[in-house]
């Protein structure tokens, strides 16, 4: 393997951009396939065998030579995401990070690579939409993000199946939530502020989780991110004595079961309110969460291919240019994801 400390910034000189995708789970496999379909030279690294149209490499991704890549996409589970990111950012190769680790990339120690992080639906697209509202109005009075991927119908039991790493779902339920209250950062218990909501005609519940991440630095009086579930799900979790590994089995994703992903991003500045709603029910065998998360990631990769987004530094999604954000939104709409916007005064 080439020396990790060697800085490898270079223009994309090869006829086809070479992408190294780390992690081929439900979202990672979708992203990898779409990048292959876009005509890129894609290499997938995973510790378990995966069927993929990309060139597949079985084993520890950190033992591979990533200095030969033009761009690295980190999609490993959150539990190892930060350690993997720390290692690959020693190469100098640009990195897009989708691992959603508790330790955020702005805490990286002397990265040599430019990094764009949290490029899924939420965090990710949610940050981009809030950034657009901030560019329109400046200081925001209120920001509310509500999002969840769930079965199309409750089932009387968990009414849930995990559309990405179940251990990462558990981390959402247990990690204290950062919010903004009265213009100041505050930390509250996860699963607090549980309340009923209407999710496009569905009677569901929302509760605080730690999904704001970099958004807490955006000027706002009040801001919170809520996870959306069917009624009874989170109460069942709060009262369960199942081990996390048992929950992984209980929440196992069933591709034959209808499901959907829904997100609402609501921003208010004075008397003006902007509301974005995103919804998808999956398509052609791809889950709605894989699509709504992965299409954002793919859009960021293609934007970097077409014009290097950042030459250095560590960047959250709200740093993306308005034109890039609008291109990502339009790309999702072309793929059949419903993305609607309304404003009212």
Helix (H) or strand (E) holding 168: helix 166-174
SS3 of 16, please? coil
Q: Write down the CATH number for the domain with range 18-117.
A: 3.40.50.720
Q: Is 258 helix (H, G, I), strand (E, B) or coil?
A: coil
Average the pLDDT over each of 11-15, 258-262, 273-277 and give the range with the smallest value. 11-15
Contact between 193 and 168 (Cβ < 8 Å): no
The mean pLDDT of the chain is 93
Predicted confidence at residue 7, as pLDDT, reads 42
**pLDDT 10s digits, 122-163:** 999 999 999 999 999 999 999 999 999 999 999 989 999 988
Extents of the domains making up the chain: 18-117, 125-290+338-344
Angle, helix 288-306 to helix 26-37, in steps of 10 degrees: 40
Strands (E), 237-344: 259-269, 272-280, 314-315, 338-344
How confident is the model over 319-332, as a mean pLDDT? 98
pLDDT for residue 54 is more than 50: yes
CA distance 64 to 22: 11
Separation between Cα atoms, residue 163 and residue 252, nearest integer Å: 8
Cα–Cα nearest to 338, from 261, 242, 235: 261
pLDDT of residue 15: 64
Residue 299: closest CA among 291, 311, 310, 289? 291
pLDDT digits 0-9 by tens, 7-38: 444 445 456 899 999 999 999 999 999 999 99
Residue 339: beta bridge partners? Answer: 278
Kindly provide the b/e burial profile for residues 195-230, where b requires at least 16 CB atoms within 10 angstroms of the residue's own CB: eeeebeeeebbbbbbbbbbbbbebebbebbbbbbbb
pLDDT of residue 1: 32
Q: State how far the Cα of 130 lies from the Cα of 132, in Å rounded to an integer.
A: 5
Mapped onto helix, strand or coil, the DSSP state of residue 260 is: strand
pLDDT digits (tens, 9 = 90+) for 160-196: 998 877 788 888 899 999 999 999 999 999 999 999 9
- Other beta carbons within 10 Å of 313: 12
pLDDT of residue 219 exceeding 60, the answer is: yes
What superfamily would CATH give domain 125-290+338-344?
Answer: Dihydrodipicolinate Reductase; domain 2 (3.30.360.10)
Q: In what order do the strands lie in the sheet with 71-74?
A: 55-58, 41-46, 18-22, 71-74, 95-97, 115-117, 314-315
* pLDDT at res. 8: 47
Residue 5, pLDDT score: 39
pTM for the full predicted model: 0.93
293 Rama sector, left if φ>0, alpha if ψ -120 to 50, beta otherwise: alpha
């Amino acid at each position: 393997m080439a020396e990790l400390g060697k800085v490898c910034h270079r223009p994309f000189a090869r006829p086809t951009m070479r992408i190294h995708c780390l992690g081929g789970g439900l979202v990672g496999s979708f992203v990898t396939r779409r990048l292959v379909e876009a005509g890129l030279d894609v290499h997938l690294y995973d510790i378990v065998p995966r069927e993929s149209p990309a060139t597949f490499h079985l084993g520890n991704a950190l033992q591979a030579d990533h200095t030969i890549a033009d761009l690295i996409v980190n999609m490993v589970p959150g539990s190892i995401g930060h350690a993997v990111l720390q290692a690959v950012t020693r190469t100098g190769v640009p990195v897009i990070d989708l691992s959603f680790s508790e330790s955020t990339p702005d805490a990286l120690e002397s990265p040599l690579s430019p990094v764009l992080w949290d490029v899924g639906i939420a965090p990710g697209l949610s940050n981009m939409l809030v950034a657009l509202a901030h560019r329109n109005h400046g200081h925001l009075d209120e920001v509310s993000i509500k999002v969840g991927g769930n079965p199309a119908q409750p089932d009387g039991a968990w009414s849930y199946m995990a559309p990405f790493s179940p251990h990462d779902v558990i981390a959402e339920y247990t990690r204290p939530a950062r919010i903004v209250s009265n213009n100041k950062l505050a930390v509250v218990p996860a699963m607090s502020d549980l309340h009923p909501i209407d999710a496009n005609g569905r009677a569901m519940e929302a509760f605080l989780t730690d999904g704001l991440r970099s958004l807490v630095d955006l000027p706002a009086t009040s801001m919170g991110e809520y996870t959306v579930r069917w009624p009874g799900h989170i109460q069942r979790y709060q009262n369960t004595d199942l081990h996390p590994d048992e929950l992984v089995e209980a929440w196992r994703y069933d591709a034959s079961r209808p499901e959907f992903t829904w997100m609402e991003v609501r921003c208010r500045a004075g008397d003006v309110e902007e509301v974005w709603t995103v919804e998808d029910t999956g398509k052609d065998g791809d889950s709605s969460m894989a699509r709504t998360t992965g299409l954002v990631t793919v859009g960021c990769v293609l934007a970097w291919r077409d014009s290097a987004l950042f030459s250095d530094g560590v960047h959250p999604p709200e740093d993306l240019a308005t034109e890039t954000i609008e291109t990502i939104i339009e790309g999702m709409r072309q793929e059949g994801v419903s993305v609607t916007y309304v404003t009212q005064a």
